Structure 1
Amino acid sequence: MPNDSEAPFTSKLVRTSNVPKELIDVAHDYNLDVHKLDFRIIKSELFISKPKADGKEGEFEEVPPHDKSILESQEMLLNPDFHIKQMYDIEIFPSSVSTAFDGMHLNISGNKSLTSVYALIEAGSTIQRCENISQEILHFFNRRKLRARILIDIWDKEMVAQLNTIAAKVEINGSYTFEHDTKILVSQSLNSKSTVNDKLELHFEAKKQHEDEHGKVDHKSRSYVTSVLVDELLITYTKPQAGTNGRDCRGRFVQAPEAVAANVPKFDVDVETIEIREDEEKIEYRSKKNGYIAIEGGKYTIKEELEVKEISFKATGNVNAGTQGDIAIRVRETDAMKDAIGMGVEVEAKEVIVEGNVGPNSTVRAQNIEIGGQTHQTSSLYAPTIKVNLHRGYAKGTDVQVKRLEQGKIVGETVYVEQAMGGEIYGKHIKIGTLQSHCKIFAGKTIEIEKIRGTENSLSIDQTRQEGDDEAMKKLDKAIDTARIAINVAQKKVDEHVAIFMENKELIVEIKNRLLKYKEANAQMPQAFVEQYKKFQDLQNLINLLKKELHLRTEEHQTLVSRKVEFQQDILDAKIISREPWHGHNEVKFKLTYPEKTLQIVPKEGQEASYYYLKFHEEDNSYSIANEPI
Structure 2
Amino acid sequence: MALLDRFKKRSDTQEQSVPTAGDFTKMTIETGDLAKHIDKVAQEYRIPVKMIDFKILSYRTFYRKRGEKKYKEIKTDQAKKLRESELLLDPDIEIRQQIKAELFKKERAKAPVLKMVIGANKAMTKIFLTFKKQQILQYSDTMEREILAEIDRKMARLGLLLGVFNHEDLQGIVSRVVSTVRVNKSIDEDMQIVLCEGVEAEAPSPARITYHYKHSNTGKLDEDVQVDYADRGYIQTVSEGDLILECTKATEGHIGRTCRGEVIPVPQPHIELSEECEGIEIEEGIRIEEDEEHIRYIATRKGYVNEPRQNHFVIQDELVIDEVSFRTTGSIEAGEDKDVKIHIQTHDEFADSVGSGVRVETSELRTHGNVGSGAYIKAKVVEIGGQTHQTSVIEAKEAKIQLHKGSVEADSVEIEILESGKVIADVVRINKISGGEIQAKEVYVQSVLSNAIIKASHLIEIEQVEGNGNKFIIDPTAQRGFAEMVEKIETDLNERKKEVATLTQKIKRLRTKIHNEKETIDQINQRISELKEQGVRPPEALINKLKEHQKVIKEHNLLLKELKDVKIEKERLKSELKEMQSSVFDAKVINHSIWKEFNEIKFMILNPPVEAVYLPKEGEMGEEITLGQTEEGEFILNRKGS
Give the CA deviation at 1:277.
5.7
Q: Percent identity among equivalent residues?
A: 26
Structure 1 residues without counterparts, runs of 5 or longer:
1-15, 19-40, 98-107, 120-129, 176-183
* Cα deviation code 1:439-487 (max 9, x no counterpart): 3323343211122234443323344422176333233233323322332
Q: How does 1:255-404 map to 2 (within 5 A)?
A: 258-260=268-270, 261=272, 263-265=274-276, 269=281, 271=283, 280-287=292-299, 290-298=302-310, 299-332=312-345, 339-404=352-417
CA distance in 2, matches of 1:53, 1:226: 55
Per-residue deviation, 1:202: 1.2
1:212 to 2:221 alignment: yes
Match of 2:210 among 201, 204, 219: 201
Give the counterpart letter for 2:491 in structure 1: K
Q: Is the contact made by 1:278 and 1:284 (CA closer than 8 Å) also made in structure 2?
A: yes
Deviation track 1:175-228 (CA, whole Å, cap 9, x = no partner) reads 9xxxxxxxx999787899874431111122213545423699975444211223
Q: Is contact 1:238-1:281 (8 Å) kept?
A: yes
1:522 lines up with 2:537 in the alignment: yes
- Return the offset for 1:603: 3.1
Alignment length (residue pairs): 559
Higher mean C-alpha deviation, range 619-628 or range 484-493? 619-628
Taking a change above 3 Å as real, the CA distance of residues 581 and 196 of structure 1, as seen in their structure-2 partners, is: same
The 5 Å alignment of 1:456-475 reads 456-467=469-480, 470-475=483-488
CA contact (8 A) 1:567 1:593 kept: no
In 1, are the aligned partners of 2:476 and 2:482 still within 8 Å (CA)?
A: no
**Pair 525,222 (structure 1): closer, same or farther in 2 beyond 3 Å:** same
Q: Distance in 2 between matches of 1:523 and 1:504?
A: 19
TM-score for both structures, normalised by structure 2:
0.68
Aligned to 1:543: 556
2:142 and 2:633 mapped to 1: Cα distance? 94
1:42 CA displacement: 9.2
**Structure 2 counterpart SS, 1:51:** strand
CA apart distance, 1:400: 0.8
Q: Give the letter for the 2:596 counterpart.
A: H
- Structure 2 equivalent of residue 30 of structure 1: none
SS in 1 for 2:445: strand
Cα 1:474–1:588 shift into 2, 3 Å: farther
User: Which residue number corresponds to residue 180 of structure 1?
Assistant: none
Q: Kindly indicate whether residue 449 of structure 2 is the aligned counterpart of residue 436 of structure 1.
A: yes
Q: Does the 8 A contact of 1:159 with 1:186 survive in 2?
A: no
Q: CA deviation at 1:580?
A: 1.0
1:234 counterpart residue number: 244
Check 1:377–1:254 CA distance in 2 against 1; reply closer, same or farther (3 A cut): same
- Aligned with residue 463 of structure 2, among 424, 429, 450: 450
Q: Does 1:561 align with 2:561?
A: no
**1:63-116 C-alpha deviation (Å, 9 max, x unpaired):** 88666477478365445433367999998769899xxxxxxxxxx999x99999
Instruction: Report if the CA contact (8 A) 1:159-1:185 is conserved.
Output: no
Closer, same or farther: CA 58–385 of 1 in aligned 2, 3 Å: same
How far apart in 2 are the matches of 1:525 and 1:277?
74
**TM-score for both structures, normalised by structure 1:** 0.69
Contact preservation (8 Å) 1:51, 1:82:
yes
Deviations 1:360-387 (A, max 9, x none): 4332112221223332333221222212
Match of 2:492? 479
* 1:499-540 C-alpha deviation (Å, 9 max, x unpaired): 3433343334445555666776226445xx677666645544
Deviation larger for 490-499 or 378-387: 490-499
Deviation digits for residues 141-177 of structure 1 (CA, Å, limit 9, x no counterpart):
x89x98x99977557797479879999x99xxx99xx
Q: Deviations over 1:267-303 (max 9, x none)?
A: 5546466556656544344456544333435544444
2:85 counterpart letter in structure 1: Q
| Partner SS state of residue 212, structure 1 | coil
User: Match of 2:537, as an amino acid?
Assistant: N
Post-superposition Cα deviations, 1:4-55, rounded to whole Å, max 9, x if no partner, equal xxxxxxxxxxxx999xxxxxxxxxxxxxxxxxxxxxx997975634337844
* Whole-angstrom distance in 2 between the partners of 1:508 and 1:286: 76
- Check 1:132–1:489 CA distance in 2 against 1; reply closer, same or farther (3 A cut): farther
Partner of residue 83, structure 1 = 95
Relative to structure 1, the CA distance from residue 492 to residue 365 in structure 2 (aligned partners, 3 Å threshold; closer, same or farther) is: same
In structure 2, the residue matched to 1:584 is: 597
Is 1:225 the counterpart of 2:238 in the alignment?
Answer: no
Match of 2:507 among 494, 509, 514: 494
Q: Give 2:85's match in structure 1, choosing from 66, 74, 80.
A: 74
Taking structure 1 as reference, are residues 132 and 414 closer, same or farther at Cα in structure 2, changes over 3 Å only? farther
Shift of 1:316: 1.9
| Counterparts in 2 of 1:531 and 1:322: CA distance versus 1, 3 Å | same
Change (3 A) 1:45 1:381: farther
SS class of match (2:386): strand
- CA deviation after TM superposition for structure 1 residue 608, in Å: 0.6
How far off is 1:556 after superposition? 3.0
Specify the code of the residue in structure 1 equivalent to 2:251. Q
Where 1:213 maps in the other structure, the secondary structure is: coil
SS of aligned partner of 2:324 = coil
Correspondence for 1:420: 433
- In 2, distance between residues paired with 1:200 and 1:223? 20
Distance in 2 (CA, whole Å) between partners of 1:355 and 1:534 is: 81
SS, match of residue 366 in structure 1: strand
